[in-house]
Every structure is written in structure tokens, then in C-alpha cells.
Chain A
Amino acid sequence: MNPWMHYLLWPCIKFAIAITIVLTVVAGMTWIERRLLGLMQARLGPNRVGPQGLFQIIADPIKLLMKEDIMPSAAEKVVYVLGPMIPLLPAFLVFCLIPFGPPPAFAVTRVNVGLLLIVALTSTSVYGIILGGWASNNKYSLMGGLRSAAQMVSYEVPFGLSIVGVLMLCGSFDLVKIIEYQERHVWNLFPQLVAAFIFFVSMNAESNRTPFDLPEAESELVAGYHTEYSGMKFAFYMLSEYASMLVNSCLMTSLFLGGWTLSVGGYGVTTAALRSMGLLGGVIGAAIFFGKVMTLMLVYVWFRATFPRFRFDQLMDLGWKWMIPLALANIFVTGILILAAGTLKIGADTYWYGELALSIVGAAVLAFTLFLITRGRPAATVAARPTEPPKVIHASRVSEA
């Protein structure tokens, strides 16, 4: 085959397909989120434009495109324009590296340090927020930008450390190998329960989602780092938030939920089984992958409807005092149990004992930690606020997004 065809044309086509799907999911997600929030909060949500308000997906970008592009006179011009573009780039670059289905057909490209590269790229999205907040020349923007950056930076440490446990089990940075490892054994969710929990919490914090949406705490900071942004620049910030949600869901699916496979111990819907069915198998694999991803996306929305926002000190407490020691403990326990399973050699099924022990220890540690976190802290992570009697929905709130 012509090398140019191989290296350029196919990736481009695959990329075009991937980006179409991604943009559709991201756009659709805004509608799903608003409708779902409406459902959870006993109100309607957008329902006027098209059937069930579905055309809101198209109406919103058009509206934002027609809006006035305001550049505050005191802003740093170049940085102000760059700000919204910067977080968008890594969020979209990452989609090249995620295998949506059995390789090589269903991933744009496959790199042997894929996971590390994804971590690296997502870690740069903090610039957009820092720079946007700084360039706006507004004290709310600056404060929101700094807070947001401090938050993202704080949760990046547990985020990075939670991946280490998975790397220890699978021994590779290649997402395809990590997924294939899980289909031969079991979803990493079970032996790496603690890591999965930390990863999930950190990815919520990294995407600035409720209950970690302090940078946008409208009661204190107007709108946080994008106070001064309007039109498409504002839309870019929103878009990159949703894109980063999608990236994180894809990562979680690949690392902990078995990617495009549905199998335990090599039985079930495996890569080999999907490959034997040709293109159809690939499509089925991709459908499984997106099913898992969409489930996680819905959990994001569910979280938003459920949890109250953290205070900044609680946020920092949770990140630095709970997540980091927990992540290190997880690495320690995983290390000991891998070592034990390797040296004891209890028959051929040694591995399963290790896996089982990891799951049990993980569940115990997680339960104990959650107990400690929630104990005597009424406003902390999981503790529920006393429920108020349902109020009559005010007419103005029905139209609210």
C-alpha cells in the first residue's frame, strides 16, 4: 500500500469519523444534561425547539455564533483570544489516541505511550483557564482562574497516582494492551477499586463539574474565569468542559471498565470474537465502548443534580489529605499483593487469588475511607443535606436551563 495512503489518508478518514461522533455526543450531551436535570428537579428543561427540544442542539451554537464578540478594552488582546482555544486543543487531540473499538481499525492512531501522552495533554488544559482569567483583566475572572487552576493542579496528583495501580497490573502504557489485559482477566474496576474511586473523583474535579465547580461559583465569583467572555469564545470554554468530560469517561472506560470488550477471564465478547465478525464486530465493539462512556456521562449529570458544591477548603482537604494518601496506599497494597502472588505461586490460578485479594482489600479500604470522610462532617463528600419539602416550581425556573 502507498505509505501516504497508510499514514495520512486512513488516519484522516478515521479522524473525521471520530470527530463527528465526538462533536455529536458533546452537542447532544448539553441537551441530555438539561433534560435530565429537568427530570431530576421536577421541571421541564428545554422542550420548545423541535421535538422534545432536540433542535436546541443546533439552535444553541447558532445563537452563540450570532452573539456580539466582546473584547474588554482593558484585556490583554492576544492572550484573551488564545485563552479559550488552548483547552480545546488537548481535549480534541486526545481523541486521536483513544481506541474506540478493536484495533487497528477503530483507533485513529496507536502509540505505545498512549496513556502517558493523554495524561500529558490533558494536564495542559489548565492554561486556558489560567490565561483566560488573567487576560480578562477582571478580579472575578482572575480569582476564578486561580482557584480553578489550583483545583485542577491539586487533583492532578491523585489522578496521576491512581493510574499507577493499573499500570502495575497491566505493565503497559498502551491502552489497547490494558484493555486486552482486562478481557483476559477481569475489569480493573474490581482489583483497582480504590484507584477507580480516586480516578472518578479526580476526573470530576478536573472537568470542573459539580460538586467541584467552584471556579464557576456564581454566588461568589460571578461566572469565574469566563466572566468576560461572550459568543463563541464562551462556547469554546463550555465545549472544552464537555470534551474533557468525554475524554475522562473514555479513559475511565478503557482503564477500569474493559473498553470495547464484555468479558471475564477471556470468555464473553472478546477482541478475538469481535475480530472474527469483521466490520460488524468492530461496530459492536464501538457500540459497547460508547455504551459505557454514555453511562459515565449520565453519572456526571446525576452527580450534578445530587451533590451540593464544596467549599474551597473542603476541596483542598479532600484532594491533598484524602486522595493522595489513599492513592499511595493503593499502590502499596497492589505492590505487596502482586509480589505475594508472584512469589507464593499457589498453583496455576495464582493470579485469581491476587485479583480476589486486591478486590477484597480495596473494598475494605474504600469503605473505611468513606466512613472516615463522612464521619462527623455534615457538609463533606457524601453526607446528604436534610431534604426540604418540595416547593412549588416558580414559572421563571421552568425556562431556566
Chain B
Amino acid sequence: MFEYLVFFVFAAMAIIFALVVILHRNPVVGALSLVVSFFSLAVMYVLLEAPFLAALQVIVYAGAIMVLFLFVIMLLNLQHRHEPSTRPVQQFLGYTGAAAFLITIVYYIGKYAVYTMPAGPFHADARSIGLALFQAYVFPFEMVSILLLAAIVGALLLSGRAIGHRTGIGTETTEEPAGKAEVSR
């Protein structure tokens, strides 16, 4: 009973703040809402008896990636920039595309029945994750280090050009760091 209450409160929070992220004009408010949304997801991991994942969710997403987002927003000074309004054709295409995507997702989720919980106990503590990760999934695990290596090199390459001939306050164009932020995902 109590768990359902907690679940619905935090599920609602996750969805509402996710909507704020895409609907609000101010990028800082958007980033903050995303943090709240991530926290609600962490609570859901706890409800699924996977507190280890909840902690990692907070450490990696709320504690690290969103900090980078805020850094980028602050570095760029974006807050009072309004985009030019879009043309009706663009709006129409955007809405139909989004609607089609929504229908597809709902259809496939319905088709492949994710409504039922897996049978048997759900093991997601640190020990069982560790045993699986470092025994059965050794190769993907090692690949992660190559991915991270590529990300390190990429981050420096993208931002490093500026450092050679300039030290003070940034004169970067706005497009570049926005593209770079995607590297982190």
C-alpha cells in the first residue's frame, strides 16, 4: 500500500519534471528538472529492490552528467536567448512525427508485454552485478574502457583547439559545446 503511494508520487514526479525539461524555456530550469527526474528514477530502482543501481544512477547521472550540463549552460550564458519561431510546416511535421513515435512505442510495449514482473527473485545487489559483469560480460566491460578512452580523447580534441591561442574568457560558438555534451552520453 505504502509502496504504491510512493511509486505513484515519484512516477508522477518523473513524468512531470521530464515534461518541464522539454517545455521550459530556461535551460537551467530544464537541467534542474532533469535532475529531479533522475532522482525519481532512483527511487523507482529502490522500489524494485535494486538500491545499488539507484546509488549508481545518482552518482553517474545526477552527480556527474548533470553537473556537466549545468557547466555548459553557465559557460555559454544561454538564458535569455529565444529561438526564432518555427514555420507551420515544421510544427506540423514535428507534431505528427512525435505522435507516430508515441503510437509505435505504446504498440510495441503492449505487444511484447512488459507489464508482468519477471518470475522469481530479482537479484540486483552489488555482488551479483559484479559477478555477472566480471565473469559473463568481461568483453563488454573491457570495451567500456575503450569507449571511455575515445570519450577522453574526443573531449580534449573538441575543446582543446581553443586553448592554444586563447586563455581568458571564451569566444566559442554556441553550437560546438552543445554537440560535445552528447559525447558524454
Whether A and B touch directly in their complex, counting CB atoms under 8 A apart, is answered as yes
Q: Mark B41-66, 1 if CB is under 8 A from A, else 0.
A: 00000000001101110110011101
Q: Across the interface, do A113 and B28 meet the contact criterion of CB distance under 8 Å?
A: no
B74: interface (CB < 8 Å): yes
Contact of B58 among A124, A142, A146 (CB under 8 A): A124
Given the interface pairs A149-B67, A173-B126, the reply to whether A123 lies near B74 with Cβ below 8 Å is no
A111: interface (CB < 8 Å): yes
B14: interface (CB < 8 Å): no
Q: Across the interface, do A149 and B55 meet the contact criterion of CB distance under 8 Å?
A: no
Q: Across the interface, do B67 and A130 meet the contact criterion of CB distance under 8 Å?
A: yes
A70: interface (CB < 8 Å): no
A340 to B55, CA, bound (A): 32
Q: B55: nearest residue on chain A (CB-CB)?
A: A116
A200 to B128, CA, bound (A): 31
Q: Mark B118-160, 1 if CB is under 8 A from A, else 0.
A: 0000000110000000000000000000000000000000000
Q: B35: nearest residue on chain A (CB-CB)?
A: A127
A335 to B126, CA, bound (A): 19
Q: Across the interface, do B32 and A79 meet the contact criterion of CB distance under 8 Å?
A: yes
Contact of B29 among A78, A119, A126 (CB under 8 A): A78
Best-surrounded residue of B26, B35, B126 (most CB of chain A within 10 A): B126
A287 to B174, CA, bound (A): 56
Q: A171: nearest residue on chain B (CB-CB)?
A: B127
Chain B nearest Cβ from A262, distance in angstroms? 29
A358: interface (CB < 8 Å): no
Binding site for B on A (CB under 8 A): 76, 78-79, 82, 111-113, 116-117, 119-121, 123-124, 126-127, 130-131, 134-135, 142, 145-146, 149, 153, 156, 160, 173
Q: Which residues does chain B contribute within 8 Å of A78, judged by CB atoms?
A: 29
Q: Across the interface, do B58 and A120 meet the contact criterion of CB distance under 8 Å?
A: yes
A135 to B56, CA, bound (A): 28
Number of interchain pairs (Cβ within 8 Å): 75
A78 to B28, CA, bound (A): 11
Q: Across the interface, do A134 and B28 meet the contact criterion of CB distance under 8 Å?
A: yes
Dominant secondary structure at the B interface: helix
Contact of A124 among B28, B52, B63, B71 (CB under 8 A): B63
Q: Enumerate the 9 nearest inter-chain pairs by beta-carbon distance, A residue then B residue, closest first.
A: A123-B63, A120-B58, A116-B55, A120-B59, A120-B55, A113-B51, A117-B55, A113-B52, A113-B55
Given the interface pairs A76-B28, A119-B59, A120-B55, the reply to whether A113 lies near B71 with Cβ below 8 Å is no
B18: interface (CB < 8 Å): no
Q: Which residues does chain A contribute within 8 Å of B28, judged by CB atoms?
A: 76, 79, 131, 134-135
B13: interface (CB < 8 Å): no
Q: List 14 A-B contacts (CB under 8 A).
A: A76-B26, A78-B29, A111-B51, A116-B126, A120-B56, A124-B63, A126-B63, A130-B70, A130-B74, A131-B70, A134-B74, A146-B74, A149-B67, A173-B126
Dominant secondary structure at the A interface: helix
Binding site for A on B (CB under 8 A): 26, 28-29, 32, 35, 51-52, 54-56, 58-59, 62-64, 66-67, 70-71, 74, 79, 125-126
A117 to B32, CA, bound (A): 20
Given the interface pairs A76-B28, A79-B28, A116-B52, the reply to whether A123 lies near B58 with Cβ below 8 Å is yes
Q: Which residues does chain A contribute within 8 Å of B70, judged by CB atoms?
A: 127, 130-131, 134, 149
Q: A146: nearest residue on chain B (CB-CB)?
A: B74
Q: Which residues does chain B contribute within 8 Å of A112, judged by CB atoms?
A: 51, 125
Q: Which residues does chain A contribute within 8 Å of B74, judged by CB atoms?
A: 130, 134, 142, 145-146
Q: Which residues does chain A contribute within 8 Å of B32, judged by CB atoms?
A: 79, 82, 127, 131
Q: Which residues does chain B contribute within 8 Å of A121, judged by CB atoms?
A: 58
Q: Across the interface, do B29 and A123 meet the contact criterion of CB distance under 8 Å?
A: no
A126 to B125, CA, bound (A): 27
Contact of B71 among A76, A116, A149, A156 (CB under 8 A): A149
Chain A nearest Cβ from B9, distance in angstroms? 16
Contact of A153 among B29, B51, B67 (CB under 8 A): B67
Chain A nearest Cβ from B14, distance in angstroms? 17
Q: Which residues does chain B contribute within 8 Å of A124, judged by CB atoms?
A: 35, 58, 62-63
Best-surrounded residue of A119, A120, A153 (most CB of chain B within 10 A): A120
Q: Which residues does chain A contribute within 8 Å of B66, judged by CB atoms?
A: 127
A120 to B35, CA, bound (A): 13
A227 to B26, CA, bound (A): 23
Chain B nearest Cβ from A148, distance in angstroms? 12
Q: A157: nearest residue on chain B (CB-CB)?
A: B64
Chain A nearest Cβ from B184, distance in angstroms? 13
Chain B nearest Cβ from A128, distance in angstroms? 11
Q: Which residues does chain B contribute within 8 Å of A113, judged by CB atoms?
A: 51-52, 54-55, 125-126
Q: Across the interface, do B52 and A123 meet the contact criterion of CB distance under 8 Å?
A: no
Chain A nearest Cβ from B43, distance in angstroms? 12
Q: B77: nearest residue on chain A (CB-CB)?
A: A142
Q: B38: nearest residue on chain A (CB-CB)?
A: A124
Chain B nearest Cβ from A350, distance in angstroms? 23
Q: Which residues does chain A contribute within 8 Å of B64, judged by CB atoms?
A: 123, 153
Chain B nearest Cβ from A64, distance in angstroms? 26
Chain B nearest Cβ from A79, distance in angstroms? 6
